Amino acid sequence: MSGQQAVEEAITARRSVVNDAIDTRLPMAEPEELYEASRYLLEAGGKRLRPTMLLLAAESLANAAPTDPDYGAIPTAEGDAIDVMAAAVSVEIIQSFTLIHDDIMDDDDVRRGVPAVHQEYGLSTAILAGDTLYAKAFEEMLETGAKSARSVEALSELAQTCTQICEGQSLDIGFEQRGAVSTDEYLEMVELKTAVLYAASASIPATLMGYEGAAEALYGYGLDVGRAFQIQDDLLDLTTPTEQLGKQRGSDLVENKQTLITVHARQQGVDVDNLVDADTVEAVTEADIDEAVGTLEEAGSIEFARERARELVTSGKENLQVLPDNEQRDLLEGIADYLIERTY
């Protein structure tokens, strides 16, 4: 079995158990429309990369992966057991909450190949669905059964992460009104908007399980590979067909989103603001995007972004030396590579 195949199988297996747990832990309730809207994107799909990362970190620290995973009984440093699946569901719920609100702010019509929540259920219900998920995530993090001090620390990290995500989103919105941003400013924005949730996902198991020495290194792993993930997302927005991407290809360019690609292109003298001759996502054509991508490739901006993503993944993987030398550590290394090799 190739390394990539092993990683894909690991993701698929853990996605399955996370999906089952979401069905159990986020049941339908009244008002029915609110909970339908809350579950809508969770049921629409998703790779479950963040909870997979969390589960693999927990398995590696425990130095064992159950043949039939029982994440309700992962041993801690002292030998007692906690339910890390509750933490895994918590971070995936946070991810869904952010997507709902992102789509509202960006006025995006499609997410994961289906209408965005605010398109399907209306703006008011979508806002309430996001708020409901936000609250449910904290409820879930309280269900791990970890010692109280560790639970409080994990909750504090989750709260701080949510604050940082909002800060990053605010920076992203502000960047749309600016003619140029620096590379450092862009990387700070994606660290807050995207990478901190990967960092929390990787480090929270160590916190809950009592491996305090490993938490900081795992946070660094998640932070670096999370930034690389966002850079790859920016690349895919330009290079992946609309049907596969699940949204209009090139939408970031039309919406004047600042990405590492456009930041670099501006520095090379490219007139980024006029790369696409379309005022709306609906009006852009594949030919428009092809021409824009050609210009960005000539400027070296596409390759610059790819190289930076590779550097971040290499840096992130170095932090995994804190883990035992086992299959799960190897899979976390493989996931880091997968994040910048994926095509959607």
List, for residues 13-54, the tens digit of each pLDDT value.
999 999 999 999 999 999 999 999 999 999 998 899 999 999
Residue 223 falls inside a structural domain? yes
Say if 344 falls within a structural domain: no
Beta bridge partners of 115: 110
What CATH number does the domain containing 226 carry?
A: 1.10.600.10
Number of domains in the chain: 1
In a domain, 46, yes or no: yes
pLDDT for 187 equals 96
- Tell me, what's the pLDDT at 244? 76
pLDDT of residue 338: 93
In a domain, 149, yes or no: yes
Query: What local confidence, expressed as pLDDT, does residue 154 receive?
Result: 98
Q: What is the reported pLDDT for 68?
A: 67
| Residue 66: predicted pLDDT | 67
Strand partners, 74: 82
Q: Calculate the CA 81 to chain-centre distance.
A: 27
In a domain, 141, yes or no: yes
Could you tell me if residue 243 is inside a domain? yes
**pTM summary value:** 0.94
Low-confidence ranges of the chain (pLDDT < 70): 1-2, 66-68, 246
| 39-95 confidence digits (pLDDT tens) | 999 999 889 999 999 999 999 999 877 666 789 899 999 989 999 999 999 999 999
Q: Domain range spanning residue 243?
A: 3-339
Residue 47 domain-assigned?
Answer: yes
